[in-house]
Structure 1
Amino acid sequence: MTTLAQQRAQIRKGIEEARKPTAAAERKAIGEAMIARRRGEQQVDDINAVVRPPKQRRALRSIEPRGGLAAQKGRGNYVPPAVNPGAGGGIASPLVETDYSTRLYWPGRVVTSVDGLLSFLIRPIKEITQQDANSAVVKQQFAEPPAP
């Protein structure tokens, strides 16, 4: 009768015998995989698989010009815009609303709160007429706001 230690030794010997032919092949495969990892071959293959090669651009066919005009010299007379001597060409600050009654409004809208308890009438401003520091009229026009 064999002892338990002898049975274990036989099992170990059987496993070693079964692995002997593959151990060298495993070591060789592991070594090749390490070399490939160092070189980055797999990463290059993965990137090339994802990236599509750029499409070749085809050249457009040339079209013959039809009735083209030859280059010519032109001539024009420049007329500078009329400038108000007191104005600098922009709006002079401050803007002052002289008459509140000249405001224009978009049609009134009723806005209700989320819970429905409160309602407000809102009159969005359409246009405001003001005067700048040079007494020039300035109109501010506002777009109609979207419906609530």
Structure 2
Amino acid sequence: MATLADRRRAIGERNVKARRGIGEANEKARRALGDEMIKRRTGRDEVEDLNAVVRQPRQRTTLPAVAPRGGVPAQVGTGNYTAPPAATGGGIASPLTEPTASTREYYDPVLLPTTDGLAWVRWRSVKKCVMQDANEDEVILEFANGVS
């Protein structure tokens, strides 16, 4: 039969073994928690999940080289120079004057309401006006109908 001291020693050894087992399990759990915290902080798992869902962009490839077919040989050419024609006017000489008001043409008259709609105005837009420049050449001004 074991003495009381032997029994106490055995109980102590069992407690030490149990604590070691708990300590080792705790150590494994602590390391796993640490790794999990690092993954959460860095977002490694989320990045991997997103990359698995998102279609990766296509890699650009260079076009294949095309073999040259042959260049155009150097040539010497000749041309005949023709001078531009001499300036014979070109443009309208200022100022423009209207010889008579009877040279104007008008579009058909249109009834237009005022902005408040209380009154109506009969309006005739100028269609064509014949003017004279400083060289006494005829200048014809044609206008679009701004009122429809």
Q: TM-score, normalised by structure 2?
A: 0.49
Highest CA radius of gyration, 1 or 2?
2
Please, what TM-score do these two structures have when normalized by structure 1? 0.49
